[in-house]
Each structure stands twice: as C-alpha cells, then as structure tokens.
Structure 1
Amino acid sequence: MVLLQTPPWAGQADPEASTLGDKVRFLSDPAAYVPVPEQVVTRETHMSWVFMAGDRVYKLKKPVRFAYLDFSTLDRREAACRAEDLLNRRLAPDVYLGVVPLTLSTAGLAISGDGFVVDWLVVMRRLEENATLEAALRGGWLRPTQIDRLATTLGTFYAHAPRVRLEPESYVVTWQKAPAANCRALLDARFGLPFGCVERIAQVQRRFSMQRSALLRERIRARRFVDSHGDLRPEHIWLREPVTIIDCLEFDPKLRANDPLDEIAFLHLECERLGGLWAGERIRRHLARALEDDAASGLFLFYRSHRAMLRARLSIAHLLDPNPRTPEKWPRLARVYLKLAAVDAGRLERILGRARKERPRA
C-alpha cells in the first residue's frame, strides 16, 4: 500500500494569495537568490518582468491576455516558459538554462522551494548588455567581420529550420488584407498620425499583393517558409562567440512561420533605423543566393515596408494600455517607422510602374 502524505503546507497557504506585485517585490530582493547577488536589476516589458541577479536572469511572465497571446493562467504561463526555453536553445543553446517554479508556503515565496507552485520562471545566463548588435550600431563599433559571422549563423539556421506548410491561397489573402488592418489601427484619430502617408503606403502594398500574388504563392510552393525566430531585432542579437540570438516569439507558431527573406528584411529595416544600413545591406548580400532574393521582383521591399507598418502599429498600440509606460516615446517611434515605410513604398511603386510599362500590349 502506498500512503500519500499530505504536504506540510497543505491548508496553510493559498496559492492565489500571491499577487503579481508580491512576486515582483520578492524577485527584486537579492535575498531571494542563491548565491545572494549584490543587487537585482529589474526590467519591465509589455509581457514580462525580468530580474538580473548576479550571473543569472530570471524572467516572470505577466498574467496578461491580448488578442495574440494568453498568459492569464498558471498552466498557460508554464507552457509559454517551457516553449521559450526550448525554442531559444536553437540560437542560444548555452544561454537558456531551464524553467523553475516560484513557490509559496507559509514561509513565503521561494524559487524552487517547498509549497504551492504559484508561477514559473525562465532561467538564463546573463550576457553583457553592451555586446548586442543594437549597442554596436548605436556605438559605432560594429565591424564587417561581426556582420559576416551573424549572416553565416542565420544562413545555417534557416537551412536547417523545419519547413512550414501553408495554404497558398489563404496566405495571399492574408497579405491582401494586412494593409487595411494596419490602416484601421494607425488612422485612429487619437494618435494623430499622417493620414495621407499611411493611406499611400497601404495602397502600394495592396497593389503589390494583387499584382504579384503569383510570386507570393510560388514562395510557399517552393517550401521557402520555415519555423523562424519571429522577432529578429538587433537588441536580441549578441555579437559574442558564437553569435547568440535570444527572445524568439514562443507564444504563437503562426507568427514564426515566415519566409526567411521577410525576416531578413525586418532585420535590414531595424539596422537602418539604428543608423547601420550598411550592416543590413551586407547581411542581405551574404544571404541573397540562399534566400533567392531577386531585387527586381520588389519582394524584399514589400516585406520590409510591411514590417515597418507593423512596427508602427505595434508602437502606437502601447498608448491603448491603461497606464502606458513612456507614452511620449511611441508616437515618435511610429512616425520613424512610417517614414521608412513611405520610402520603401515609393521604391516599390517604381518597380510596379516599370513592370506595367514593360508588359506587352494585347
């Protein structure tokens, strides 16, 4: 006979009694960790709290629910933590160290302690903050050899990433609907963004998705789409040896189902925004053959302009939060992205115009 012993904390601690504020206060205290660090540096993001304690980083997901993700329950947060740990080992195998419980007993909260599991933490190795691609671009110390190593890493990743099956017609329809969705969000009168600029960009994107729908379908039929990183920004790229890329989009595989050319277009956009267009161009040239990047088709510009519009939309959406952090930042950033998207749309319009002139008359 097996006797099931009652845990010592049973009936003595309520797992629902620990609020997000309680957890943040606990994890902000050096005494929460073994060994005890000199200090804990905390960062808040849209979806998480991050605690940098000594040579480790602990990430706590907020119990939030948005249209594109749901972390509202303990089970969902655990699943998201485990997915984050697993997926990010693809490009940062020595950084992600596992998932541990945050527990509550009558003695209080503890990391991997005795008691009820009240949340889950992703544990990471702490990296040098000034060693990112973003820091290198802002600081002006980025070298071509570093970019070449990054491009090689990305090329290897895309070559071995699992291929994703998509339905071509549904995919094309999604692209054709995207400009209107971005317009609806960006042209909210509360934001005061330039109406004509947004409309013009969306119009060019719609034209491309209609006139080049066969090209979009062919990318799918050629099995170009992979389970990608999903959020390939310079702030997520560490120029160490080996090149390390963290913080992929773990919460929705659909958002990681990308044409690698689209993802490189996004990185190219971000490099230009940070003053490093040359770096984005170097990565693009390095990967052009592998990704079948035909500049004359306009596909790269289409992807890039869409990413810029999407980033503008995500930036301005911060103002819809009940208590947005740094509210002055988001309209300014949205306008930067719209300016980049407008330049791309102008170039794309010229490509579409040339194609129309070259089309033989019946």
Structure 2
Amino acid sequence: MTKEQINKLLTAGQFPEPCNPVLVETHISWVVIGDHYVYKIKKPVHYSFLDFSTLEKRKFYCEREIALNKRLTEDLYLGVQPVRLLSGGYIIGGEKGEIVDFSVEMRKIDNDLQMDVMLPKNSVTKDDIRRLAEKIASFHKHTTIMYDKDLFDIQKKFNDLGSEKPILIESINRSMGAVIDRAIKVSNEFTHKNISLLTNRLNNGYVRDCHGDLHTRNIFLFPNPQPFDCIEFNDDYRQIDVLNEIAFLCMDLDAAGRQDLSDLFVKFYNDLFPAMRTAEEYQLFVYYKSYRANIRAKVNSLRARSAGNETEKTDWLRQSEGYLKLMEQYINLLNSE
C-alpha cells in the first residue's frame, strides 16, 4: 500500500470492529490502532537488511512475524488479515474484494503495562525483573541452537556507525567523531582478540534463535511477562548470542538510569541459564552492551535525518548523543582491562 491508500483506509475504511483508528508510522510499517485491536501493515520497502517489496513477501513476513512472536506471547498475535479494495474503499478482513496487502492483527494492550512506560514511574519491581528473567532464560534454554553464523557479523554492524559520523559531528559536536573512531578501533581489536571465545560460544550452543529486539518498549509486564515485536525480517538480527540478546535489555535499563534493575536481571538470568561464567564472558557482555548503544545511536541519527521539523530532529540527535556517551562508557570498561 501507499501512504495515500493508508490515509484513505483511516478516513473511510472498514475494520472488523467499529473504531476510530489512529496511525503510528515507523520506517518499515504502518501501525493502525483501533479501539480493541491493532493492524500492522508492512511498507513496500527494500533495504539492505529487509525486503518487503512484493505482496507475496509481505504476506510471508506477516505470517513469519506471528509464528515467531507466539513463542513468547499469549493471545496477543491473532492472525493475518487481508487488506482488500472493494468499490473504491479499503477493508481489513472479509471475503470480498481484491487483496491489495496484508496486516498482522494484534490485540490492543494498555500501554501503561509497557516496561518503558513503567520505568519513569518507578513501578517496575524486583518481582517483575525476576519473572522477566525467568521468561527469557526459559525461552533461551529451549529455542533453536545455531551453529553456522558469521563470527565477525557484529563487528561489521558495529562499524556501520561510521556512516553516521558526518551528521553527528555537524549536528552535535566534533568530539563525537573521535568517540566513534575510538569505539570502532576498540571493537575491531576486541573481536579479533576474542575470536577463540566467540568460536567456543558458537560451538557450545550459546548462539540461538532469539527475540532480536529485546528492549523495554517491547515488553508488557503482565504477571507472565510478554516480550513482543521480535525481528522477523532478517534471521541474522535474531540468531545471536544470548548475551547479545540480554545486553540490549540491560543497556536500555542502564540508559534509563536503572543499572540496579539491569544488574538484578543479569543475576536472576544467569542463575537460571549460566551464560556468563568467566571474566572474559563478562567482558563480552559489556562489548555487546556497547554494540547495542551503538545501534541505538545510529537508528536515532537516521531518524533525525528524516525528521519532520527541527524540534523533532533535535530530540532524536539528543537521544543519539546520549547513546554515544553510553557506548563510550562501555568501551572504556573494555579498554581498561
């Protein structure tokens, strides 16, 4: 679908339930939020890391998204609904009309239960962290082990931050260029120095088919926590070391000023699934946290490029700067050893 067609769906479309739909747009999806249900429609885009360019591919990845997310959620992902064109109007669901696209249908959940919303209210408890650690550790224990992965893939992704250096230098300050250059240098040295550790972890089954995007915005803290919105569009982003997986969540907690919760999660998780047993593995965990801060800095820089106004651009760049500083803190820990 196009943005024009999406707008027509919003203003004059038909939904399985009567509702007043609201649109949330990302760089790869249109998310139409109704009163009780949510419909996620993939944009017809083709990037180096994903391909939603054809109707068939979008249907495939809708089905893939549901199958993968059902591993960690209950009664949240409901199914794939066609988007149809009938008599000049757009309909989600039904049997009549030409299928023009597909949507992932989800149950709408109160966002007050999202972890990132709860954190500023200081309403995330020790029991929440324990239950979340239990959920993730159990998932990691039972998900598929991957034995054939590129050990230097993460280094390549880390180095991609260099492509954003010009805008970050220009828009934030020139010192960010030195921070990025040094981080890339330390990353290259660390991965080459620890190739035996990375190889052993791959051979010993610590690289698994994970969630891939485990941060606080993607977790509903029910009594049985529900991590959602895992990565379906690229297996390499999801099939990672389990330490890389939990590093994203812990980096996110560190960024929110809750290192206490980050440390608590690691303790609970590692007691249940001992994935970090040595000083070298702890250093690897810190490296993965630097990588996750790196990725967040890059993503926010890209968002700043496409911001609709200067206020929005400034906000994204401010967040990017914060993640660069956090990345630098982690890099300093690696460099101090």
Tell me the secondary structure at the aligned position of residue 78 of structure 1. helix
- Structure 2 equivalent of residue 185 of structure 1: 164
Of 66, 75, 100, the match for 2:56: 75
Of 242, 260, 264, the match for 1:278: 260
Tell me the secondary structure at the aligned position of residue 288 of structure 1. helix
- Offset of 1:148 from its aligned partner? 0.5
- Offset of 1:187 from its aligned partner? 4.3
**CA distances 1:295-344 after superposition (whole Å, capped 9, x unpaired):** 62111111111111121112112244486893222211111111111111
- Offset of 1:175 from its aligned partner? 4.0
Identity %: 29
The residue identity in structure 1 corresponding to 2:323 is Y
**Cα contact 1:186–1:316 (8 A) shared by 2:** no
In 2, Cα distance between the equivalents of 1:53 and 1:195?
Answer: 44
The residue identity in structure 2 corresponding to 1:78 is K
Structure 1 runs, 4 residues or longer, greater than 4 Å off = 187-193, 322-325
Of 14, 18, 22, the match for 1:41: 22
Larger radius of gyration: 1
Of 93, 111, 118, the match for 1:112: 93
After TM superposition, the score normalised by the length of structure 1 is 0.85
Is residue 2:229 matched to residue 1:247?
yes
Gaps of 5+ in 2: none
Is residue 2:109 matched to residue 1:130?
no
Is residue 2:296 matched to residue 1:296?
no
- Offset of 1:178 from its aligned partner? 4.2
Tell me the secondary structure at the aligned position of residue 328 of structure 1. helix
The residue identity in structure 1 corresponding to 2:296 is R
- Structure 2 equivalent of residue 161 of structure 1: 143
After TM superposition, the score normalised by the length of structure 2 is 0.91
**Cα contact 2:304–2:314 (8 A) shared by 1:** no
**Cα contact 2:253–2:259 (8 A) shared by 1:** yes
Of 282, 291, 296, the match for 1:311: 296
Q: 1:162 to 1:324 in 2, by over 3 A?
A: farther
Gaps of 5+ in 1: 1-17, 352-362
Is residue 2:330 matched to residue 1:348?
no
- Structure 2 equivalent of residue 63 of structure 1: 44
**CA distances 1:164-191 after superposition (whole Å, capped 9, x unpaired):** 1224xx41x3344444332233345554
In 2, Cα distance between the equivalents of 1:197 and 1:107?
Answer: 54
In 1, Cα distance between the equivalents of 2:203 and 2:225?
Answer: 31
Of 312, 315, 318, the match for 1:329: 315
- Structure 2 equivalent of residue 25 of structure 1: 8
Deviating more after overlay: 94-103 vs 190-199:
190-199
In 1, Cα distance between the equivalents of 2:323 and 2:286?
Answer: 14
Q: 1:192 to 1:348 in 2, by over 3 A?
A: same
Is residue 2:191 matched to residue 1:205?
no
